[in-house]
Chains A and B, each alone.
Chain A
Amino acid sequence: MTEKTIESIKGEFVCVVCPNGCFIEAEYTTEGGAKLLSLAGNRCERGRDWVRQELETPMRTIATSIPVRDGDFLLASVRTAAPIPLERVADVMREIRARTLDAPLSIGQVVIKNPAGTNTEIVVTREVARR
């Protein structure tokens, strides 16, 4: 009978949850799904969740803009209402870039629901009045 040793990996993570940008040193395994063994350097609990998430599915928010017809700005800035998987950013961008909006628009207005099936919304972040 052989004893199986699980190899642990040490890695450094930069938490992007807040401007503190903690450098977190983590020890984890990847066998049978990523598992966090230990971590140091995070100033709050959100850092632990961040590393766990980074090991499973890295999530990011994105911000971009969409052209507006008849607005007092040429573009309405928009962002994801909640983080999306990093690997889906290109798909979501493709869907956003195909769109044009009509003024007026207000902050918080939902302009795309469930972009690329990511289960979030694209919301306007700038007031755009009719020209």
Chain B
Amino acid sequence: MSAATGSNRVIERDLVVIGGGPAGLAAAIAAREAGGDVLLIERDRILGGILNQCIHDGFGLHRFGEALSGPEYAGRFISRLRELDVPVMQNTIVLGLSRDRRLLVSRLGELQEIRARAVILAMGCRERTRGALSIPGHRPSGVYTAGAAQNFVNMENIMPGSRICILGSGDIGLIMARRMTLEGAKVEAVFELLPWSSGLPRNIRQCLVDYGIPLFLSTTVVDIVGMGRLEGVRVAQVDEQRRPVEGTERFVPCDTLLLSVGLIPENELAREAGISLSPITGGALVDADCMTDVPGIFSCGNALHVHDLVDRVSEEAERAGRAAAAYVSGALPKADAPVAVRPGAGVRYVMPDHVSVPKVISGPEKITLAFRVTEPRRDGVVRLTTDDGVVLKEEKHPRLHPAEMVWASLDLSQFEEMKRSGKTLEVSAS
């Protein structure tokens, strides 16, 4: 890599964290607290990532027991990072990552090579765009992703429009429906392709119901109309195969369409380094220490799988940070034949993909599992079973919803037992 780029400065570091959002901050802090030498690299001029534009409250309820705004939540971690004197390179983008953990970085146009003994990928995620949905129609101005609109309104003091439609009921779209309403815009409606909302129930309540904004389920935008500026969208109901139903089409005038149709983990660097990615989450396949299949490279936060709560991102990233520090110091044992973890009926994916045993890094002797169900259920049951049908754990959930990540844990000793008997773990919901 260095020969090709002609960079003349090579820096050596124990651990490099890529990304200074909630995951990167928590990972860097945890690694530093574990005694490691850490460098944090951030593309933006400021730390905090997406939290900077998430000015609504509700962050930190699990972790701090109070409802903070995004900037406040980030601020707590940034203060801690400064207390620990963790070096940070801001305005710096990582352009390349190799399997042997050499990073090519650009800072204000100056190229550098960094050689790291361990790397944590914490690049977050991106929004799906109109292109990813293939909505037919004109290509006027006025079509934005919800996160882009959030940036305009909350960071740049620009209102993208005054009469708004929102496609997709993801949380960012719901939050923006309320935000645009508070700023004086008229939000006509939110349209959701699925028969259920993809946002948290509390956001349906406090962002839509409170402001009288209708949510139309099993409905999608089938045409975007407008030359120059958006003039409106044509919407239609969809059937069970998600095909528009004839005769249900109607035209909704609007000057702005916001898309809140899903997030995709940002993994260009992981791909370049040859890390195996999950086709379901778009993130790396990792073990319970958040280590990818390339030794010494870890992944956490929304780059690993898209979360709904930042508190959980911090928790997961701390695990990655501690494990990466242990890897650098040689305390993380090399794993042979891990215990596989698989989604069963009613479950879309489970994190981690596998659990390496033995596991000697300090911390509770419990393995945390995170997963998402495929469809909403009331009075649901989550089962952790071995592949030959032995139930290890059964938990009742009054409500299970694809928009809400579910968490469970198993004792490390149970994985040791599964390893001895050559079994795999299955997580299912019914």
Contacts and interface: CB of A to CB of B under 8 A. Distances in A.
Contacts of A15: 202
B385 to A, nearest CB: 26
Nearest to B309: A19
B182 A64 contact: yes
Interface string A69-94: 00001110111000000100100010
B134 interface: no
A116 to B, nearest CB: 14
A23 B182 contact: no
Contacts of B154: 65, 75, 77
A68 to B, nearest CB: 9
A6 to B, nearest CB: 27
Given A75-B154, A86-B210, A19 B182 contact: no
Counting chain B CB atoms within 10 Å of each CB, which of A14, A63, A67, A75 scores highest? Answer: A63
B418 interface: no
B61 interface: yes
Contacts of B206: 16, 60
Interface in B189-210: 200-202, 204-206, 210
B57 interface: yes
11 contacts: A14-B201, A14-B202, A21-B200, A21-B201, A21-B202, A21-B404, A74-B157, A77-B71, A79-B69, A107-B75, A126-B69
A79 B68 CA distance: 9
Q: How large is the interface on B (under 10, 10 to 19, 20 to 34, 35 or more residues)?
A: 20 to 34
A61 B75 contact: no
Given A19-B200, A65-B55, A74 B156 contact: yes
Contact of A126 (B71, B156, B202): B71
Nearest to A42: B398
B67 interface: yes
B293 to A, nearest CB: 32
Contacts of B210: 58, 60, 86
A18 interface: yes
Interface of A: 14-16, 18-19, 21, 23, 41, 58, 60-65, 67, 73-75, 77-79, 86, 89, 93, 107, 125-127
B202 A16 contact: yes
Counting chain B CB atoms within 10 Å of each CB, which of A15, A64, A125 scores highest? Answer: A125
B56 interface: yes
A41 B72 contact: no
A16 B72 contact: no
Given A63-B55, A75-B155, A23 B69 contact: no
A89 B71 contact: no
Interface string B144-165: 0000000001111100000000
A74 B399 CA distance: 42
A125 B201 contact: no
A58 B210 CA distance: 10
B58 interface: yes
A90 B52 CA distance: 25
Contacts of B393: none
Given A19-B200, A75-B155, A89-B182, A107 B72 contact: yes
A125 B200 contact: no
A70 to B, nearest CB: 14
Contacts of A41: 398
B242 interface: no
A15 B202 CA distance: 7
B62 interface: yes
A21 B205 CA distance: 9
Contact of A23 (B57, B183, B399): B399
Given A16-B206, A18-B61, A74-B157, 19 more contacts: A14-B202, A14-B205, A19-B58, A19-B311, A21-B205, A58-B210, A62-B182, A65-B157, A67-B157, A73-B155, A77-B71, A79-B55, A79-B57, A107-B75, A125-B72, A126-B52, A126-B71, A126-B72, A127-B75
